[in-house]
Amino acid sequence: MHIPDGYLSPQTCAVMYGVATPFWIIAAKKVKETLTTKTVPLLSVFAAFSFVIMMFNAPVPGGTTAHAVGGTLMAIVLGPWAATIGVSAALLIQAIFFGDGGILAYGANCFNMAIVLPFVGYGVYKLIAKDAPIDSPRHWIGAAIGGYIGINAAAFCAAVEFGIQPMLFHTANGTPLYCPYGLSQSIPGMMIAHLTVAGLAEAFVTGGVILFLQKAMPHLLTAIKPKEVTA
């Protein structure tokens, strides 16, 4: 789902930076307020985990990729604001040192994978798990479904960002200046890959890790109180 430079116009990239920046500011404040010396290392661990699984990607027609992210998993354990920081950090390292995702497109990539994905996935998880006991299967089931929906919501956002480029930015004769694929191509191209492959991978990773934590380290699922991460 990493968008490389050259596929989004500079104007679109600027707008996406503008949209993502308030989330980064609020996330930094929330993380500073809620995380402790015991949970800060967890953020580093989950950010590293997200970095690793995002490196296993498959090309998608149109210039981007399909892969798991781990954003919903991070949001469940540490809260969605912490997930915004963690995934953004992983995306920054990938963009600078590995060329996976563009520098200009960093704001768009963070909006999709570090904001939309964890917040949507976490919301679905909370809707399903609610106040279920910590050992209830509703936690890992909700996590799997949340991960699946979250990553597909992010993929849809990326598809729209691609698809509006030829409509907004083209030469006088209609030749696209950036991404050449309209919405009728970008949405199916992105969604088919994520509904069938990346979404299932995200669901498997998220649900599987939460199931493991339920059995082996249930205290991690209560490391941060719900009221602290959703305030």
**Residue 208 belongs to some domain of the structure:** yes
Our CA angle for 187, 193, 199, nearest 5°, is 110
Torsion of CA 177, 179, 184, 186, to 10 degrees: -170
* Any domain includes 3: no
pLDDT at 62 (0 to 100): 63
Digit-coded pLDDT (tens) for 17-71: 999 999 999 999 999 888 777 778 889 999 999 999 998 877 776 667 789 999 9
2 domain-assigned = no
List all residues 6 or more positions away from 20 whose beta carbon is below 8 Å from its beta carbon.
107, 108, 110, 111, 114, 115
Count of domains for the chain: 1
5 is a domain residue = no
- Read off the CATH number of the domain in which 142 is found: 1.10.1760.20
Distance CA 190, CA 168 (A): 20
* 4 in any annotated domain: no
The model's confidence at residue 221, banded by pLDDT at 50, 70 and 90, is confident
> Which pLDDT belongs to residue 63?
66
Which of 73, 11, 14, 65 has the alpha carbon at shortest distance from 48? 73
102 C-beta neighbours (distance < 10 Å), count: 19
